Amino acid sequence: MNGPPLKRTLLTFYKELFRHFGPQHWWPAESPFEMIAGAILTQNTSWKNVEKGLIPLREGNYLTPRRVFELPESQLAELIRPAGFFNVKAKRLKAMARFIVEQYGGSLTRMFSTKTPLLREQLLEVKGIGPETADSILLYAGNAPVFVVDAYTRRIFSRHHLIQETDTYPDIQRIFIRHLPHHAPLFNEYHALIVQTAKVYCKTKPNCQACPLGYLLELEDVH
């Protein structure tokens, strides 16, 4: 009935995925603020389209909190158009830039010197920053040991019966944080590997045969 302890299982999953895929080099951004912009643009959007929205921002040298804060919303929306949801995302980018400028004088160094739990609460107050975006920013731009939960994490780990379908975001996050070493590079790589795994093996039709975790799924299903 009970498999090996969760602590070991979660590390086994990580090792298998890393062995199969290798390092993912997340987050692909040239600066912390570009990473933050990407985190907003990628909400329910493929990374391919996010890149297309980031290019005009990069080429126009708009990727600082102050520049985005000062950019008219309609103009910002046009620049990021290929990323989809461009009107809401323009609002969200502006809200985030405004937060950084007004609360931290436009300095991400100062922002990330704030204690992680407090900064997380502050980020969640910003319209357009939800749990996943906040945690992505903390982990990938702030290098804080925070585990990012997404739809793929749910899909994969519930399939393996390691979490419940009804588990909420904080439930799932607690499970990972409680059972893994609090090490930012590990959390960084783990989340990236989960996304990569889902992209390749869990699309419309799951391919558990070819998945590096496929054999683990069979073991779990034996109960």
Partner DNA sequence: CACCAGGCAAGTA
Partner DNA sequence: TACTTGCATGGT
Give residues in contact with DNA (CB under 7 A). 26-28, 38-39, 42-49, 52, 81-82, 84-89, 126-134, 136, 140, 150-152, 192, 195, 198-199, 203-204
DSSP 128: T
For residue 129, the minimal CB distance to DNA (Å) is 6
Q: Which is nearer to DNA, 39 or 63 (CB)?
A: 39
Q: Which is nearer to DNA, 110 or 127 (CB)?
A: 127
If we measure between CA atoms, which residue out of 49, 41, 16 comes closest to residue 196? 16
For residue 5, the minimal CB distance to DNA (Å) is 29
Q: Which is nearer to DNA, 84 or 214 (CB)?
A: 84
For residue 98, the minimal CB distance to DNA (Å) is 14
DSSP 80: T
Q: How many CA atoms lie within 13 A of 167 on its CB side?
A: 22
For residue 54, the minimal CB distance to DNA (Å) is 11
Phi and psi, residue 189, nearest 5°: -70, -35
Q: Which is nearer to DNA, 3 or 143 (CB)?
A: 143
